[in-house]
Amino acid sequence: MLIYVHVPFCARRCSYCDFAIAVRRETPAAAFTESVLAEWRLRQELPWWDDAPEVETIYFGGGTPSRLEPAGLARILTGIRAERTILPAAEITLETNPDDVTRERAAAWRESGINRISLGGQSFDPAVLEWMHRTHTADQIEDAVRILRAAGFANLSLDLIYGLPQELTREWSADLERALSLQPEHLSLYALTVESGTPLGKWTTRGTVHSLPDERVADQYLWANQRLRSAGFQHYEVSNAGRPGFEARHNAGYWQRKPFIGLGPSAHSGAGRDRTWNIREWEAYRRAVESGADPVAGRETLTPDQLVLEEQYLGLRTAAGVSDELVPEPHQTLWLEQGWAVCQNGRVRLTPEGWLRLDALVAGL
């Protein structure tokens, strides 16, 4: 079983962010911790536990989970252990902003059992960080890496965003090289997406920001793929690359369609054909849990066709690909002819050029 804990609190909303977050000057850590633990106790009644009784991975995402005090994170982990067995080799990840990393916090995170850090750097360009509304500096990214290494973290991931607007004149290669110089075990590379309702969406609508042409976004992606491979990384999923043995096991569990439980506002859960999702807004979620109500906002049972589509989409995201039976003709031949896929040992795997077209290729199926 995979467990995801959504911590929605942020000091500031990033210019591109459309996630379910709550901007707070002071994080209501105690109320959040108690709410999540109450929901966790409620989730012990799920029938999914019969097939996956032990916890393989735990992921604190957000939002900005590092805005919780370490004691709150430790209390949540203790509460999970009180109800279920966390495997000794479980991967326990914390997303953190660089400016939240201190020697004291890093030591406390390690003491609580967290063994993997996902550091939200996004860029090393000061102008870009300001434009993104990030709360940290480029130097703080490097400082955070040094502190985390000194605390004993041997599994460190860095996030970067590519495909930024033309007006920023950001040098993508310089950002990636600086990230590689910090010797992380893992890198996540995300293309900037314009979402309506965000500051970026409004800037784009007004014409003050212009999206990078698709061909230049593709060039940045393909160059990064080559550079990462030359640096010893395995580009194992459309947006993720890791050194051998350091693939993100939690995310891989989703792509392999393992059962997962989401705790916190807007978190999703699923196993087999069943899917549920929680109330999105923090205050509404808190009120529901405090009243003893189930915070689930919606449920869905996937049809057989939807299950096939999910298997196609999630499998084709990864370097493992899917069984060739899931890619019927004439699609398979077209993909091979165009260089979008390769077929070996009965499996169809997308190439980096194919990953650029992932949504369109799956929609075509």
DSSP string, 154-199: --EEEEEEE---GGG---HHHHHHHHHHT--SEEEEEE----TTSH
* Residue 147 included in any domain: yes
Same domain, 35 and 156: yes
CA–CA dist 337, 310 (Å, integer): 25
Whether the per-residue pLDDT at 196 is higher than 90: the answer is no
Same domain, 241 and 314: no
8 Å CB contact between 301 and 294: no
* Residue 312 included in any domain: yes
Q: Which residues contact 181 (CB under 8 A, 6 or more apart)?
A: none
Same domain, 43 and 127: yes
Tell me the pairing of strands 85-96 and 156-162.
unpaired
Quote the longest CA-to-CA distance of the chain: 58
* Residue 288 included in any domain: no
Identify the pLDDT of residue 11. 85
Q: Which residue has the higher pLDDT, 18 or 128?
A: 128
* Residue 94 included in any domain: yes
Q: What angle do CA 105, 246, 220 make, to 5 degrees?
A: 95
* Residue 291 included in any domain: no
Structure pTM? Answer: 0.95
Same domain, 311 and 188: no
Per-residue DSSP letter, 50: G
Q: How many domains does the chain have?
A: 2
Same domain, 50 and 128: yes
Same domain, 246 and 309: no
**Side-chain-facing half-sphere of 110: CA atoms under 13 Å:** 16
Residue 171 φ then ψ, to 5°: -95, 100
Same domain, 243 and 308: no
Asked which of 193, 225, 255 is the last residue of a domain, the reply is: 255
For residue range 280-297, list pLDDT tens digits in order: 999 999 999 999 999 999
Asked which of 255, 288, 319 is the last residue of a domain, the reply is: 255
Same domain, 242 and 331: no
Place of tokens 């990214």: 141
Q: Which residues contact 152 (CB under 8 A, 6 or more apart)?
A: 110
For residue 179, give the CATH number of its domain: 3.20.20.70
Whether the per-residue pLDDT at 58 is higher than 90: the answer is yes
* Residue 310 included in any domain: yes
CA–CA dist 245, 241 (Å, integer): 11
How much is the average pLDDT of 159-175? 94
Q: Six-digit token pair at 322?
A: 């899917």
Identify the pLDDT of residue 15. 86
Same domain, 251 and 308: no
Same domain, 325 and 216: no
* Residue 277 included in any domain: no
Identify the pLDDT of residue 311. 95
Query: Which value, in Å, is the radius of gyration of the alpha carbons in the chain?
Result: 21
pLDDT > 90: what percent of the chain?
A: 87
Identify the pLDDT of residue 12. 85
Asked which of 222, 255, 288 is the last residue of a domain, the reply is: 255
For residue range 293-332, list pLDDT tens digits in order: 999 999 999 999 999 999 999 999 999 999 999 999 999 9
Same domain, 330 and 227: no
Task: Name residue 298's beta-bridge partners.
Answer: 277
Same domain, 38 and 106: yes
| Full domain range(s) for residue 337 | 304-365
Identify the pLDDT of residue 256. 94
Identify the pLDDT of residue 269. 96
* Residue 192 included in any domain: yes
